[in-house]
Amino acid sequence: MAEENLDEAELETLEIRSAAWYKKKLKYSQIVYQVDEEAHVATITLNRPDKMNAMSHQLRAELFHALKHSDLNNEINVIVIKGAGRCFTAGYDLSGMGHDEPDLGNQYVDTSGVTHWARYVVQQWFQIWDLSKIVIAQIHGYALAGGSELASMCDLLVTTPDCEIGYPPMRSMGVDMLWFPWSLPMRKAMELAVTGDSITGAEAYRLGMANYCIDAEDIDEFTAAFAERIGLMNWQLATQYKRATKKAYEIQGIKTALDGQAQYAYHRVAESDYAREMSKKFREMPLKEYLNLRDDPYKESKKKIDNILARQSQKHL
């Protein structure tokens, strides 16, 4: 039965069923979900450490269920998202791309035929933006590609100094969500856009992207204390302040810009001769071999830059 044919009573029932689904406690397989009732904090841990917490379709489905489950619990004021093992997340699970694709829904597909994924993930991450509860990202190791999208959509950010934050797939495939201009100064945003380079957690903190930069051995304890402090404010108050703050960025055009980039710029990149060639190699080559082909020239160039910067630093000691 199409939704437009439902009467008001049936539509209300549908909405109640939808909310009931997210109120259910599920057995997750790729995240760990914990609640500190005394601190009013829910913690979601991405739990594929052997895969560097690469975000499979299953992991993202579990993540969004846990987020909405927390949002519907009036005893929870704050949600923390972090990663198990050596990193936050290295991005989307590229080994699974092209297999077991989810039904993205016609609302995310346009006539270009290639932008449905980018528009889909932008809309998905904006669900965090629209949650009533405050969401803190605790990142370490790597927050790359889709992982950087996830971190950028959270309300607050705590990082380790050596965490790598960036979007290397820009070098060959394009970018789903060009978050850089909204989290970084213009010149640094442009540098990341035209190199695919990453910034460290220390630099993200210096540039104002992160709230705090904490050593790895202390970050769990610090983020828990930070979340507890945020959680002192009743969620109904915090929600209004979150909405008012987010609205300022919406007036500046953040949603329009990111959705427009996903719809148009992604299409133009994906349809370029170079991107088509690299996409073909991505499908045909082993993943590690493909990543070396994509990134090795940039690694050599980075060494040159770093050597010059190191000399400059020594001169000014």
Per-residue pLDDT of the chain (317 residues; tens, 9 = 90+): 344 455 666 656 656 666 777 888 889 999 999 999 999 999 999 999 999 999 998 999 999 999 999 999 999 999 999 999 999 999 999 775 544 444 444 444 444 455 667 777 888 899 999 999 999 999 999 999 999 999 999 999 999 999 999 999 999 988 889 999 999 999 999 999 999 999 999 999 999 999 999 999 999 999 999 999 999 999 999 999 999 999 999 999 999 999 888 877 777 888 889 989 999 999 899 989 999 999 999 999 999 999 999 999 888 87
**Residues whose CB is less than 8 angstroms from the CB of residue 107 and which lie 6 or more positions away in sequence, other chains included:** none
How many angstroms separate the CA atoms of 176 and 122, rounded? 7
Beta strands in the chain (DSSP E): 31-36, 41-46, 78-83, 134-139, 142-144, 156-159, 164-166, 198-200, 212-213
Q: Do 104 and 117 form a contact (C-beta atoms < 8 A)? A: yes
Where along the chain do its domains lie?
A: 19-284, 291-317
Query: In terms of C-beta density within 10 A (0-12 exposed, 13-18 middle, 19 or more buried), how is residue 233 classed?
Result: middle
Cα dihedral 42, 47, 53, 57 in deg (nearest 10)? -80
Place of tokens 């009533």: 132
The predicted model scores a pTM of 0.88
Residue 64 in contact with residue 127, Cβ under 8 Å?
yes
CATH class of 19-284: alpha beta
